[in-house]
Amino acid sequence: MLAALNAGSLGIAMKSKLLLVAATLAACITVSNAVDEKALLGHIMWSAFECSALAELAENKSEQERLYLVGLNAGRTFLEAMKAGQISQQALNEAVPINVLQRLEGPSNEFVIGKIHAAATGHTRDEIVKRKRSMWGATQKQEARSDYGYRNCFLIR
């Protein structure tokens, strides 16, 4: 009977240790995901600015403004987290476009965001405007609308 009692106590002790390990692991994963989410804001900023340019070319002013603000807010949060050391170098390398990483130097966050906005919108406009078209092909406005849908710009929030 004493052996059964000791086995029951060991089972409870083992279960509590496993529960503690599982809780610790879950907390670590949650913290890791939070860091990754902050790194993803760099990607959201770039994509929102690209989509803002497409909305402009498609003559959708309200969507252009909405996406610009999404990019601006994502950029501010991203740069603040980066400067506070909340994003690891590995997360930056894995989640942030090279076009953003190349433009992170500047006197202020607003200046850096302005450089990134200019690069993203310029790149996107060039893709649409410089595309070869046949005489009967789609117009720039139609191509911008098509790219807007193809890139799933409506999903950026």
What is the reported pLDDT for 33? 55
Whole-model pTM: value is 0.76
Which residue's entry shows tokens 């599982």? Answer: 22
What is the reported pLDDT for 30? 43
Q: Is 1 a residue whose pLDDT tops 80?
A: no
CA distance 30 to 144: 38
Query: Which two structure tokens, joined as six digits, stand for 102?
Result: 């190349």
CA distance 75 to 77: 5
Radius of gyration of the chain (CA): 24
What is the reported pLDDT for 36? 82
Q: What is the pLDDT of residues 119-143, one digit of tens each?
A: 999 999 999 988 877 677 778 999 9
Are residues 156 and 70 in contact, defined by beta-carbon separation less than 8 angstroms? yes
Q: What is the pLDDT of residues 26-73, one digit of tens each?
A: 433 444 455 489 999 999 999 999 999 999 999 999 999 999 999 999
Give the residue among 79, 74, 82 at the shortest CA–CA distance from 48: 74
What is the reported pLDDT for 14? 44
Low-confidence winner among 8-17, 39-48, 99-108 (lowest mean pLDDT)? 8-17
